[in-house]
Structure 1
Amino acid sequence: MVAADVRSSAAPQAVRRSSAQAAGLAEAIVAFDAARYGTEPIAKARICLLDFLSAAFESVDLEWSRQARAAMPVGAGGHVVGDAVERSPGDAAFANAVLGHGLVREDMHAGSISHHGVVIWPVLLALAETGSFSGQRLLAAAIVGYETGCRVGRALFDSTLARLFRPTGLVGPLGAAAAGAYLLGFDERKTATALALAANCAGGLNQWPHSGASEMYFHPGFGARNIVTALQLAAAGAFGSPDIFEGEAGLFAAFARKPAVPVTLFPNGEADILAVYNKPVGACNFAQTACQAAYRLAQQLTPDAAPIERVAIRVSDAARRYPGCDFTGPFERGLQAKMSIQYGVAATLAQRRLGEANYQRLDEPETLRLVAACALEVDPDFTRAFPAAQGAEIEISLADGRQLKTSLRDVVPATEAEIRQRFREAAGAVLGEARTEEIEALVDGLEELAEAAALPRLLAPERPTPKH
């Protein structure tokens, strides 16, 4: 077995892999030292955690959030965002993952077409309550978890595979297993087993976008709960397939129908969590840039402007091909609208705004009129640039003959200030201003926190004292 490359230097090097993919990744995970990568990945992890929490708090009363809580029995040892009732750690991880995914505003890694945070954070929050772990170790675990999921996802997925299988469901569990194994201090053998079991838990079909069905919301929940179990099995001595990635029935052969692509963590000293962006609005990743471009055009339209007669939307081939993105109705469920590029652009132009309100009324006449006027086209330049950049162009033709056009080379992510503001509003509505300030201060000071378990306990309201 090739030893992990842990040489200290100003520019950290990639960790070498052994001949078996799972063992090589396990070496890199166990050897990970967050201090070698500077402060930027830590700062990014903190913001991703706040972003996850903001979406979870805002989703507390949504239909699928209520269903997730109702399906998880009362237990002990695990806290759920915004809920005074405890569950087991695995069940709490399930519920929190569904909550974090409820707005479709979770963080996004374009290279793996995945939302890693909605699996990683619920697992880490659940595990934090099972032992004594510092906040610094929790942040480091998140970084190595994002790295694992992102790098495997880059190697595994293309737009063809993503039409069939949910990327988050396939590689999210792998990142969460890496994060959990690191937090728990697993050795290489246990870490490799956790990865193998996680690959066996990979799943999620992409049929849901065609009907706007609810499976999407539960995919990260299934992954998070299964990974808590996988880590427990690894800790108990279970043995996982060493060749789970490259074997003849391994991850790459089973899903991608191709030989395994070598995966290296932190190549050239680069942390892939820095390629994750935080969505500005709750809608499909592939609709984000087009909606932002549409909003810029909408701001140029005066109240007395002539009606829009035609809307040309130009995106990458990956955006057009992802299930549900090239959809013009009928819109029977909100998720169909959030996935549709045409709906997102039409609603932005019709209502002159971006945000959750655009998806509240699916029968808004002007929005539906503009959906019918949209033509979705593939732009070769945007296709070549993806996934490094997610460009989009919107061109509108008005009834008076005028044409307006704007183009964005890449999505404009939510700023830290925007993320903090929406966290304060969402958490404040559930827990009040004082508790919200306490949570934010704790997240900002995680590196100095001796017991990370304090965080998940703060996320739930106190259980009312029974009256006698």
Structure 2
Amino acid sequence: MMDAVPTRPATGETRALLSFVAGLSWHELDDEVRRAARRHLLDTVGVMVAGCAGDVATRLDGVLAQVRPGGAVPVPGRCRRVDTLDAAHLGGTGAHGIELDDGYRQGSVHPGVAVVPALLAQAHGRGMSGVRLLEALVAGYETVTALARACHPDLRQRGFHPTGCVGPLGSAMAAGRLIGLDAAGLGHALGLAASSAGGLFAFLGGGGDVKRLHAGQAAREGLTAALLASAGVAGPPDVLEATDGFFQAFAFGRHEWARRLSLPPAVPFSLTDCYIKPYACCRHIQPAVEALMGLAAEHGLNADQVEAIEVETYAIAAEHGETGWSDFASAQLSFPFIMALGLARGAITLSDFTPQMRQSPALAAICARVSVRVDPDLDRLYPDFRPARVTVSTPGGTFVREAKEALGSRLVPFDDAGLHGKFRGLVAPVLGTEAAERLLAELLAVEESVDVSSLLDLAAPPAGAAR
């Protein structure tokens, strides 16, 4: 007789998370974790500058400006100063606005866009040190990744966007740690943030701009929860495992509960296994497009020679196989369009998503030759890997390449030179070369900073400028 499917997770999950967050010490972390924290802060700030200067953040800023006055907090890439919560909102939306933000494969989630904007907004003007900021960043990343890992793949399979669901809780723990909440206060912040969890994955069918908003809302709502908790507002206790709590809402369904929430030191710090994106598109597509670009370079293939491009991959990635490319956001999530870009241009950059490119008959012709299907053997490898097999058919023969991961992962590292090059390429067009170098230098020395307010000051154009 089979055991009954459990209806609740193991108890003590919330207390374990709160104990971990409250007890975290930057000086007790090893060099690998501290290096990863500095790199992901640098990467996320660079993406924020470019993303906040983009279309969705600009429209959001316009709406916010209509309904309330500005403030004193700078927003990366933008000239208007806003209040703390709007800075987190705009920062998170912009950071997720160009598909170049970091992520965590085992939970299919983007930690940086929820955690970093909230921390920078709250730290501005309050004399927070670099060590305090980085310590809170680690707490936020580990919260996001642990929760997303515990809920994966149920959460995504039920139609939710993991970043929108677990992001508010990670933001709350990061902000709560930054402002000095004790374990009890963190518990209230977590309980409050859990009720802001949400975000649907329906954007694969169009309307992809809402995906960007999920990240901004996560950053804002988590920060709000921490501030409310500091003001004495109570949240539900044991909110992760409680009846009608977070796990019941987001983790139960297709799989019986078999995993506890895993946190360091029982498991390695997940921050060291978060990826940094080299290409401006959905991470699920990147191993396949890297394989295609590798085949094209190795065999001298061009679009005119290619008769068919067959992609075999895991199920969650294959869901992007039918996504269109008529708008900017959808094009970055579209398997056919990204593969067409990879073959035709040998790279995936922000400049490849203009209306002219999306309407290109030549790229559309390549898109028509792309097919995507699930391979059961590859599907079983996910989420330990992001496997893809690409088969290119030409009159002269058939070429095949497999990939387990893309550049930027722990398996295929993105070195410091590449990371700094990415940063400069994103920031210099918005702020200018000299300003980009000053901001980079400040980020590289963040651990020695006595007041991290300068990060936002340097990341934003002068107040009142044209942008």
Given that residues 30 and 188 in structure 1 are in contact (C-alpha distance below 8 angstroms), is that contact kept between their aligned partners in structure 2?
yes
Q: CA deviation at 1:19?
A: 4.7
Greater CA drift, 442-451 or 374-383: 374-383
The reply to whether residue 385 of structure 1 matches residue 381 of structure 2 is yes
Match status 1:67 vs 2:65: no
| Closer, same or farther: CA 375–193 of 1 in aligned 2, 3 Å | same
Q: Distance in 2 between matches of 1:72 and 1:204?
A: 20
1:300-336 per-position Cα deviation (integer Å, ceiling 9, x unaligned)? 3437886211211011123124xxx12164x321222
Match of 2:3 in 1: none
Q: Secondary structure at the match of 1:393?
A: strand
Partner-residue secondary structure (3-state), 1:377: strand
Contact 2:310 2:392 in 1 (8 A): yes
Q: Distance in 1 between matches of 2:424 and 2:197?
A: 34
Distance 1:305 1:283, change over 3 A: closer
CA–CA distance in 1 between the matches of 2:52 and 2:128? 27
Residue 331 of structure 2 is aligned to residue 337 of structure 1 = yes
In the alignment, residue 338 of structure 1 is paired with which amino acid? Q
Are the aligned partners of 2:42 and 2:443 in contact in 1 as well (CA < 8 Å)?
Answer: yes
Determine the C-alpha separation between the residues in 2 that align with 1:247 and 1:129: 35
Partner Cα separation in structure 2 for residue 251 and residue 212 of structure 1: 27
Distance 1:58 1:328 in 2: 25
Match of 2:281 in 1: 283
Counterpart Cα distance in 2 of 1:78 and 1:356: 27
* Cα shift readout 1:178-236 (whole Å, capped 9, x = no counterpart): 11111112101000111111111111111112014311111111111112211111001
For structure 2, which runs of at least 5 residues remain unmatched after alignment? 1-9, 409-413
Helix, strand or coil: the match of 1:86? coil
CA contact (8 A) 1:312 1:374 kept: yes
The separation in 2 between residues aligned to 1:354 and 1:449, in whole angstroms, is: 35
Moved over 4 A (4+): 258-261, 303-306
> Which residue number corresponds to residue 43 of structure 2?
51
In the TM superposition, residue 44 of structure 1 has moved relative to its aligned partner by 1.2
**1:80, 1:459 within 8 Å by CA — same for their partners in 2?**
yes
Could you say which residue in structure 2 is the equivalent of 1:294?
292
Could you state the TM-score of these two structures normalised by the residue count of structure 2?
A: 0.89
Per-residue deviation, 1:280: 1.1
Which of 342, 352, 355 in structure 1 is aligned with 2:349?
355
TM-score (norm 1): 0.89
Contact 2:167 2:222 in 1 (8 A): no
Q: What does the per-residue CA deviation read over 1:148-170, in whole Å, with 9 as the maximum and x for residues that have no partner?
A: 11011111120663451110000
- Residues 300, 80 of structure 1: CA spacing in aligned structure 2 closer, same or farther, 3 A cutoff? same
Residue number in structure 2 paired with 1:139: 134
Instruction: Tell me the distance in 2 between the aligned counterparts of 1:255 and 1:264.
Output: 17
CA distance in 2, matches of 1:306, 1:87: 51
Q: Which residue of 1 aligns with 2:220?
A: 225
1:423-462 equivalence runs, <5 A: 423-462=423-462
Q: Deviations over 1:8-27 (max 9, x none)?
A: xxxxxxxxxx9543232111
Q: How does 1:361-380 map to 2 (within 5 A)?
A: 361-380=357-376
Aligned CA distance change for structure 1 residues 270 and 308 (closer, same or farther; 3 Å): same
Give CA deviations for 1:85-138 in whole Å, capped at 9, x if unaligned.
Answer: 211100011111111111111101011110110110000001102523210111
1:385 Cα offset (Å): 2.2
Is 1:410 aligned to residue 405 of structure 2?
yes
Distance 1:306 1:371, change over 3 A: closer
Distance 2:269 2:167 in 1: 17
Which one of 119, 122, 135 corresponds to residue 117 of structure 2?
A: 122
Residue 79 of structure 2 aligns to a residue whose secondary structure is strand
* 1:20 and 1:242 in contact (8 A); partners too: no
Which amino acid in structure 2 is aligned with residue 463 of structure 1?
A: A
Structure 2 residue 324 is the aligned partner of structure 1 residue 315: no
Match of 2:34 among 33, 38, 42: 42
Secondary structure in structure 2 of the residue aligned to 1:406: strand
Which amino acid is 1:335 matched to? A
**Once the 2 structures are TM-superposed, how far is the Cα of residue 357 of structure 1 from its aligned partner?**
3.7
Deviation at 1:423, TM superposition (A): 1.6
The alpha-carbon deviation at position 282 of structure 1 amounts to: 1.0
Amino acid at match of 1:382: L
Partner of 1:421: 421
Contact 1:193 1:241 in 2 (8 A): yes
Query: Which stretches in structure 1 are left out of the alignment for 5+ residues?
Result: 1-17
Matches within 5 A, 1:256-275: 256-257=251-252, 261-268=259-266, 270-275=268-273
CA contact 2:302–2:343 (8 Å) conserved in 1: no
Kept in 1, the 8 Å contact 2:52–2:93? The answer is no
Q: Is the 8 A contact 2:26 2:131 kept in 1?
A: no
Number of equivalent positions: 443
Larger CA deviation: 208-217 vs 431-440:
431-440
Which residue does 2:91 correspond to in 1?
96
CA contact (8 A) 2:205 2:323 kept: no
Taking the aligned partners of 1:355 and 1:382, their CA distance within structure 2 comes to 27
Q: Is the 8 A contact 2:280 2:348 kept in 1?
A: no
Change in 2 beyond 3 A, CA 1:435/1:354: closer
Does 1:241 find its partner at 2:241? no
**d(CA) in 2 for partners of 1:364 and 1:310?**
19
SS of 1:458's equivalent? helix
Report the aligned-residue RMSD.
2.2
Distance in 2, Cα, partners of 1:295 & 1:46: 31
Q: Say if 1:80 and 1:96, in contact at 8 Å, map to a contact too.
A: yes
Aligned to 1:327: 322
- Go from structure 1 to structure 2 and tell me whether the alpha carbon gap of 1:147 and 1:133 turns closer, same or farther (over 3 Å shift): same
Conserved? CA contact 2:331–2:338, under 8 Å: yes
